[in-house]
Amino acid sequence: MDHIQGIDRNQISIFALEELVQNDSWARLIDMFVDALPLDKLGFASLQTAEEGRPPYHPADILKLYMYGYKHGIRSSRKLEHAARVNVELWWLLKGLKPSNRAISYFRTNNRKAFKNAFRHFVLVLKDWDLIDGEVIAIDSFKIRAQNSLKNNFNQNKISRQLKYIDEKIEAYEKQLDEEDDEYQQQELKNKLDTQKQNKQNYHDLQTKLKESGEAQISLSDPDAKAVVLHRNIVNVGYNIQTACDQKNKLFVHADAIGVNDSHALGPMVLACKEILTQDSINALADKGYNTGEQLQICKDHGVVTFVAPKQSSNSGKDCISTEEFQYDPNDDTYACPQGEVLRSNGSFYKKGGYRIKQYKTKACKSCSIRSRCTQNKTGRLIERSEFQQAIEENRDRVLANPDYYRLRQQITEHQFGTLKRQWGFTHTLVRGRENVLSEVHLLFIIYNLRRCMSILGIDELKRRLKILIDIFLCLVGRFRCVLCHFKLIY
């Protein structure tokens, strides 16, 4: 029996690109989606061409290339260039165009704000389609590696260690130089000394730069990247990407890069979601990494109902009675301990960790029968109450009263990160700088939402809705051109 045979490579074949792409192809969906975008309004560069010089590629064509590539884990400009030359679906999508890697790379750099605008535009479209309602938002984050090695990231402790090591080397070389008689060896030692002295000056300059920045750490290759814990206490230099997902269909609505952890991200993320979705009130779900009094207070002040996992009291332990067992009386501003004694404050606020606290204590601790189980403090039990304590307690009570509602957080978010990282390879960024990194994030979130819409609506219904958007867009463009021509005829 013969094997399955291919065609003769020297045989001339006549075919149309349209025949090579299936009707349900991702390429066809991208083609319709990009054609429905108001690229000029969104700020994409090179829409207008000059009268002289080589004409640029239309931004729609390069955007289609990026959307196709990122969906299939092809992200570098050189790999995208290669794919445009060998991938049949890209031949159809780009109408035979084969842009160079430089043109592809410059497009991503020059349109970082446009990517963000396109993502927000699509979010509003999804809201108009009733796929996003904005009533319940889940906030979570994931971390990606940056284009900056760990050895090129410094904090004060690391700089101090290096300076100590260099001083020890300088001292050792100077001692050897005093004891060495051979001229050749002396010259070698002098060269080593000069090198170490130059290294010492470099570290002093780096230390000055770190102090002037006001940051806790500094990165040399990508100044915006920071040392973050990626997973299982493995530290690398990267970005902490904050995300917000809507409950209704688990679609992304917002993204940002805020700090190295989640402690200061809840307020900015939720308020941005309110602005984008024009919501008067939102229920926000988040894990305990977001539980800080200041952020909970910000949400409360802006009409956001939080369901953030509560943190365990800092002085709770096997041999310590939890602070939660002390009952607070807001009328008298006092605490009652489990033994019925009253802890009072002197009414003054003290600064601690960037916020203010009050301290409550009682003299009854001296003769208390359970003091050894309550506190090891020589002066007795001390309760500290944050200025944001009411917001913290209200949030805790809501979570404890609605445990099933809080557990919706895992269903709304987190699973998207597996798609982005494992299937599409977004474990590291290819660009430098916070805004450029976010441009990659926004592009991927557009693709994820579009791919998710395929599952929700079905490809035929999604195409139908995109066709309506294209018709509306073309109608608006046609009206504008008619008005412009009429204006030119008159004047």
Q: Average the pLDDT over 361-376 and give the result.
A: 87
For residue 491, pLDDT beyond 80: no
Query: For 91-125, what is each residue's pLDDT tens digit?
Result: 999 999 999 999 999 999 999 999 999 999 999 99
For residue 484, pLDDT beyond 50: no
Q: Average the pLDDT over 221-242 and give the result.
A: 91
Q: Average the pLDDT over 191-216 and give the result.
A: 93
Q: Average the pLDDT over 212-235 and give the result.
A: 90
Computed over every residue of the chain, the mean pLDDT equals: 90
Q: What is the pLDDT of residue 51?
A: 67
Please report, for the chain, the start and end positions of each structural domain, with discontinuous segments joined by +: 17-126+443-490, 150-219, 323-386
Query: For 32-42, what is each residue's pLDDT tens digit?
Result: 999 999 999 99
Q: What is the pLDDT of residue 234?
A: 87
For residue 407, pLDDT beyond 60: yes
SS (H, E, C) the chain: CCCCCCCCCCCCCCCCHHHHCCCCCHHHHHHHHHHCCCHHHHCCCCCCCCCCCCCCCCHHHHHHHHHHHHHCCCCCHHHHHHHHHHCHHHHHHCCCCCCCHHHHHHHHHHCHHHHHHHHHHHHHHHHHCCCCCCCEEEEEEEEEECCCCHHHEEEHHHHHHHHHHHHHHHHHHHHHHHHCCCHHHHHHHHHHHHHHHHHHHHHHHHHHHHHHHCCCEEECCCCCCEEEEEECCEEEEEEEEEEEEECCCCCEEEEEECCCCCCCCHHHHHHHHHHHHCCCCEEEEECHHHCCHHHHHHHHHCCEEEEECCCCCCCCECCECCHHHCEEECCCCEEECCCCCEEECCCCCEEECCEEEEEEECHHHHHCCCHHHHCCCCCCCCEEEECCHHHHHHHHHHHHHCHHHHCHHHHHCCHHHHHHHHHCCCCECCCCCHHHHHHHHHHHHHHHHHHHHHHHHCHHHHHHHHHHHHHHHHHHHHHHHHHHHHHHHHC
Q: What is the pLDDT of residue 64?
A: 97
What pTM does this model have? Answer: 0.89
For residue 76, pLDDT beyond 60: yes
Query: For 141-195, what is each residue's pLDDT tens digit?
Result: 999 999 999 999 999 999 999 999 999 999 999 999 888 878 888 899 899 999 9
Confidence of residue 486 (pLDDT cuts 50, 70, 90): very low
Confidence of residue 485 (pLDDT cuts 50, 70, 90): very low
For residue 44, pLDDT beyond 60: yes
Q: Average the pLDDT over 290-308 and give the result.
A: 95
In percent, how much of the chain has pLDDT > 90? Answer: 71
**Residue scoring higher pLDDT (369 or 476):** 369
